[in-house]
Copies of this chain bind each other. A is one copy, B any other.
């Protein structure tokens, strides 16, 4: 029997009715398909107003416990049988496990010192007082100071901490930047493959073009011009800057993978070369540390910084405060530099080993292109099937591939060395060869 204490406020009554029936239904004491008492009858029985009962029924219906049938009344649904409608979906159809992932954007599992990073996160979380408040919209002040020192030293980007805006990944930064560029309408990307970048610009109403020097905004990744790590030579950088200056264009320099340039010193940044007047510099640590750490930053030139400052307080910081604090101290203690050195050495060795493994597996029947940076090589092999067919056949054997290009007689793949251990290179390449041969 429903027990209603009269002390309760009116608003509570309907909830008590709601819970009473919900319980009956979920315990199968009211079976699926059975009719609920009419509003009038229920109200009489419980000595409550019809409105109260109606509110309870509406809520029960809204939550899927009962359903209204026109001209007839309310009926119990079969919700009790499928309380967790997604419980069955929890185990997706048998998916073939990926053994060798040549298409990975992850990092080498040996490369990251989890124990070290845990120590820094732990120490960040110990700063109780600081964790109790929202983060600074622009990013934590001490972190921006460390960043400004770091990029001056490493990338010749000279800026004040106040020019730096921190965000949870590139897109969060572009979502702050795009509204500041409202008089600009067109943006040029180097290739259509960088969907993440172009989507944000499209979302803000920009016309997206490719390799179009006449656009208002020129987006470039000079340290990652192609998937196999070609870098933009200084001469072309200077040309690009001069052309942009002469035409009043804005350059967005996405310095992706600049740290993986295997020359003695990375090529100077566009921001540094231009003096930072009409270049926005964007940096990130996802390939250097962990992709799952969502901390990126951009350096704004003076004109945009002024516009940003007016709006800064309107945006909440997206990057985790704990991760900012941890990263700040991690860089201060010199770990970013040693991590960079370590990864550069590691990936240079791995790319060399992968090249050797490909040659071993394919003999002279292939063409390999490597760049001066990055973690991938381009491999062209003879194949009369389509790239999609090759990709599917490989996937069935546990091999994940990225197709770059295809002609009637051959297919070009991008093979990333980052996620596969060195000892697996040869078996992986041999598997790829056998898949291609048996197509």
Q: Which residues of B contact A4 (CB under 8 A)?
A: none
CB distance from A414 to the nearest CB of B (A): 17
With A133-B104, A205-B205 as contacts: A275 and B114 at CB distance below 8 Å: no
Contact with B along A280-311 (1 / 0, CB 8 A): 00000010001111100000000000000001
Size bracket of the A interface: 35 or more
Contact pick for A314, options B61, B112, B195, CB 8 Å: B195
A106 pairs with B122, CB closer than 8 A: no
Which one of A8-16, A212-220, A245-253, A340-348 is at the B interface?
A8-16
Enumerate A41-84 residues with CB–CB distance to B below 8 Å.
55, 58-59, 61-64, 84
A322 at interface, CB cutoff 8 A: yes
A320 at interface, CB cutoff 8 A: yes
Q: Which residues of B contact A121 (CB under 8 A)?
A: 121-122, 125, 322
Which one of A261-269, A355-363, A388-396, A397-405 is at the B interface?
A261-269
A407 at interface, CB cutoff 8 A: no
A158 at interface, CB cutoff 8 A: yes
A114 pairs with B109, CB closer than 8 A: no
A148 pairs with B86, CB closer than 8 A: yes
CB distance from A422 to the nearest CB of B (A): 16
B294 pairs with A86, CB closer than 8 A: no
B145 pairs with A132, CB closer than 8 A: no
Specify the chain B residue showing the minimal Cβ separation from A199: B314
Q: Which residues of B contact A112 (CB under 8 A)?
A: 131-132
Q: Which residues of B contact A311 (CB under 8 A)?
A: 199
B90 pairs with A145, CB closer than 8 A: yes
A126 at interface, CB cutoff 8 A: yes
CB distance from A81 to the nearest CB of B (A): 15
CB distance from A434 to the nearest CB of B (A): 27
Q: Which residues of B contact A319 (CB under 8 A)?
A: 168, 294, 320
Contact with B along A1-43 (1 / 0, CB 8 A): 0000000010110110000000000000000000000000000
CB distance from A128 to the nearest CB of B (A): 6
Q: Which residues of B contact A203 (CB under 8 A)?
A: 175, 178-179, 204
Contact pick for A169, options B117, B133, B316, B322, CB 8 Å: B316
Contact with B along A185-202 (1 / 0, CB 8 A): 000000000011001001
A318 at interface, CB cutoff 8 A: yes
Contact pick for A62, options B105, B204, B273, CB 8 Å: B273
Specify the chain B residue showing the minimal Cβ separation from A117: B125
A85 pairs with B122, CB closer than 8 A: no
A158 pairs with B125, CB closer than 8 A: no
Cα–Cα distance between A199 and B112 once the two chains are bound (Å): 39
A172 at interface, CB cutoff 8 A: yes
With A131-B290, A161-B86, A292-B131 as contacts: A168 and B172 at CB distance below 8 Å: yes
Q: Which residues of B contact A172 (CB under 8 A)?
A: 168, 172, 175, 318
A132 pairs with B290, CB closer than 8 A: yes
Please list the residues of chain A having a beta carbon within 8 angstroms of any beta carbon in chain B: 9, 11-12, 14-15, 55, 58-59, 61-64, 84-86, 89-90, 104-107, 109, 112, 114, 117-118, 121-122, 125-126, 128-135, 145, 148-149, 156, 158, 160-162, 168-172, 175, 178-179, 195-196, 199, 202-205, 233-234, 238, 263-265, 267-268, 272-275, 286, 290-294, 311, 313-323, 419
Q: 7 A–B contact pairs at CB < 8 A? A: A86-B160, A112-B132, A121-B125, A130-B292, A168-B318, A168-B320, A172-B318
